[in-house]
């Protein structure tokens, strides 16, 4: 039978926990998203992170740093630019045809 720690003789159950206390404002001041699930790697997930491939680790870091949001915005903007460029090329072709036919006359 285990001995009970002094002062806890009358307790039927003792719970031992670990708590991380961080000054959150410090992380927020450098624009880190403390609500991101990858912001802090808890003890149970460290093995999973250690077994990740480099690309997966990079993705996790980018998400935690908040840069993945800008990557998706950049990709959407590039797609929009490509669509607009296609429209401009089409308009230029129509103008060229219209001008050429008038020049020929």
Cα–Cα distance list, 43 to 12, 61, 76, 93, 102 (Å) = 28, 17, 36, 61, 75
Per-residue pLDDT tens for 14-70?
888 887 776 667 777 777 777 777 677 777 788 888 899 999 998 888 887 778 778
Judgement on whether residues 61 and 82 belong to the same structural domain of the protein: no
Whether 66 contacts 41, CB under 8 Å:
no
11 inside domain: no
8 inside domain: no
Domain that holds residue 101: 78-105
Paired tokens of 50 = 């250690």
Domain total in the chain: 2
Judgement on whether residues 24 and 60 belong to the same structural domain of the protein: yes
20 inside domain: yes
46 inside domain: yes
28 inside domain: yes
Judgement on whether residues 21 and 59 belong to the same structural domain of the protein: yes
- The larger pLDDT score, comparing residue 9 to residue 86, is at 86
1 inside domain: no
Rounded CA separation 3/51 (Å): 40
Whether 66 contacts 38, CB under 8 Å:
no
7 inside domain: no
């Amino acid at each position: 039978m285990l001995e009970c720690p002094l002062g806890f003789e009358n307790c039927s159950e003792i719970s031992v926990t670990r708590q991380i206390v961080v000054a959150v404002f410090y992380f927020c001041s450098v624009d880190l998203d403390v609500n991101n699930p990858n912001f802090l790697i808890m003890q149970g997930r460290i093995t999973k992170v250690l077994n990740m491939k480099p690309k997966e680790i990079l993705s996790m870091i980018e998400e935690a740093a908040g840069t993945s949001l800008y990557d998706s915005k950049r990709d959407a903007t590039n797609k929009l630019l490509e669509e607009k460029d296609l429209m401009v090329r089409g308009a230029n072709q129509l103008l060229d045809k219209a001008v050429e036919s008038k020049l020929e006359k």
